[in-house]
Amino acid sequence: MKVRERRGGSLTRRMIVVAAIWIGVLLLIGGYALDRVLSRSIVQNFDQQLEYVLNAMIAASEIGPDGEVRFTRPPADQRFLEPYSGAYFQISGQGQETFPSRSLWDRRLIVDDGHNDVELHKRDSFEFQDEPLRILERDVMLPGSNVRWRFQVAQSRDAIDGQIRELRATLVRSFAALGAGLLALAALQAFYGLWPLRRVRREVAAIRGGTQVRISEGFPREVEPLVDEINELLAHSEEQAEEARRHAGNLAHALKTPLTVITNAATAHSADLNDTVIREAAAMRRQVDHHLARARAIGRRASAQARATVWDSVQAVDRAVSTLYPGVTIDTAGAKTAQVRVERQDLDEMLGNLVENAAKYGNGRVFVTVDPPAGGKVNIQIEDDGTGIAKAQREELFTRGKRLDTTGKPGTGLGLAIVRDVAEIYGGTVSLSESEDLGGLLVILSLPEAPQVI
């Protein structure tokens, strides 16, 4: 047995993938924003410490007797005294001797004279090999000197970069754990949220296996409409199956009597055996035709696209009946655009039976009127100028095989029965009345209107 290829994927997988993408995007944006904020906070805190040292240097500086800069008190940070310690300062003026910290040893900080650092200037520098620096500098005019002195404080960025690396590693671990937790929650939510659908699948399998007849209740509101529709579909299928069994039983019963008559006549070697076989075979054929018409209508009823224009069927039936009964005048009138929710073949069969009966049992005139749609129905009126049918006997015409005609005209007694059965299958009705215009029988075939095609 060939297994059908599954298409469309899994709803659970789709929900988890969408959640994973959305969670990933949010965590990336949030992580980047948080990294920027915290990294900036670390750098700002680092700069504040350097700015404090720079301001303390400026406050403790004065001009010595030889015009050089000297401190009134030594810097508190002992790293300025240790060579290559990572903490440095430098005071320089144009045309003056540079005053570096002992920690610079044989190195000097680059002084860029291309800009004025009256305000505090912060920058990163890579002028020392393998030692990136964070430098704060400011230009100051010291009392007793006409030289603009540039004060520079520098410190290795290793401490900042180390804190930022540790911060980012913590953020990555934390956000990875948060993302995994959110993804697990999304998966649990998808699995739990779709659990009712899995239950529906199990119960449908149980129905197919014969252990249940309907899907049980107690589903969430979002799933209830689906469950109701499935139960309605099951009920409809059961009705169709029961109708098919009843239909088969009726056909078997209808054929049983003619077969019994033929068997008895053959057993008794009846002299009129040929006539009996012909008569009973014709009766069986009528029954088979009747039940086949019903079966076709039931099969077509399932199609939601069933649609027929009434006027087209009226014109086709008019041409056919006029050929069979050339002495009968058939007048047609009414709505030419009315459409009904019936298959064209079944509509032709119903109208054909009704118009032919009117032509056969009338006195030469037949009116066919198609009323405009009203209340979701389209009424088709067939009138003749015959003798009509007494009100008390009209219902008998719908009995299969029942004939009220005593003139000997050919007929099966199944025409109206077929029309009524097929009309009811499509949700329509057939009613009999008296024609006010022609005085004969008035048959009103009412069928559901077909919805407008958008």
What secondary structure does DSSP assign to 30-63, as a single string? HHHHHHHHHHHHHHHHHHHHHHHHHHHHHHTEEE
Cα(432)–Cα(382) distance, rounded to whole angstroms? Answer: 10
Question: End-to-end alpha-carbon separation of the chain, Å?
Answer: 42
Helix, strand or coil for residue 279? Answer: helix
Rounded to 5°, angle at Cα 93 from 92 and 96: 100
Nearby residues of 57 by Cβ (< 8 Å), 6 or more positions away: 71, 75, 89, 91, 151, 153
Query: What one-letter code names the amino acid at 168?
Result: R
276/240 same-domain check: yes
Quote the domain boundaries for residue 98. Answer: 27-163
Answer yes or no: is 12 within a domain.
no
Examine the domain organization and report whether 38 and 99 are in the same domain.
yes
**In terms of domains, do 289 and 316 share one?**
no
DSSP string computed for 295-316: HHHHHHHT-TT--EEHHHHHHH
Same domain, 262 and 339: no
Looking at the structure, do residues 250 and 152 belong to the same domain, yes or no? no
How do the pLDDT tens digits run along the chain, 454 residues long? 444 555 566 788 888 889 999 999 999 999 999 999 999 999 999 999 999 999 999 999 898 887 888 888 888 888 999 999 999 999 998 888 889 999 999 999 988 877 777 889 999 999 988 899 999 999 998 888 888 899 999 999 998 899 999 999 999 999 999 999 999 998 888 888 888 888 888 888 888 888 888 888 888 888 888 888 888 888 878 877 777 777 676 667 667 777 887 888 888 877 787 878 887 787 777 667 666 666 666 655 554 567 899 999 999 999 999 988 988 999 999 999 999 998 888 888 889 889 998 998 889 999 999 999 999 999 999 999 988 888 877 777 766 444 444 444 444 344 677 788 888 888 899 999 888 888 889 999 999 998 776 5
Residue 55 shares a structural domain with residue 105: yes
Query: Going by DSSP bridges, is the β-strand pair 148-156/133-141 parallel, antiparallel, or unpaired?
Result: antiparallel
Buried b (16+ CB within 10 A) or exposed e, 144-165: ebebbbbbbbbbbbeebeebbe
Q: How many domains does the chain have?
A: 3
Kindly tell me the burial class for residue 381, based on how many C-beta atoms sit within 10 Å of its own C-beta (0-12, 13-18, 19 or more). Answer: buried
The pair of three-digit structure tokens given for residue 335, joined into one six-digit string = 């709505």
CB 351 within 8 A of CB 317: yes
318 and 438 part of one domain: yes
Work out the angle at residue 232's Cα, subtended by the Cα atoms of residues 230 and 233, and round it to the nearest 5 degrees. Answer: 65
Residue 366: CATH number of its domain: 3.30.565.10
Contacts of range 237-245, beta carbons closer than 8 Å, 24 or more positions apart: 240/298, 243/298, 244/298
Spatial distance between the Cα atoms of 249 and 368, rounded to a whole number of angstroms = 36
Query: What CATH code is carried by the domain that includes residue 67?
Result: 3.30.450
Q: Is residue 411 part of a domain?
A: yes
Tokens of 277: 């076989």
> Which residues make beta-bridge pairs with 57?
none
Q: Is residue 187 part of a domain?
A: no
Q: How far is CA 45 from the centre of its chain?
A: 54
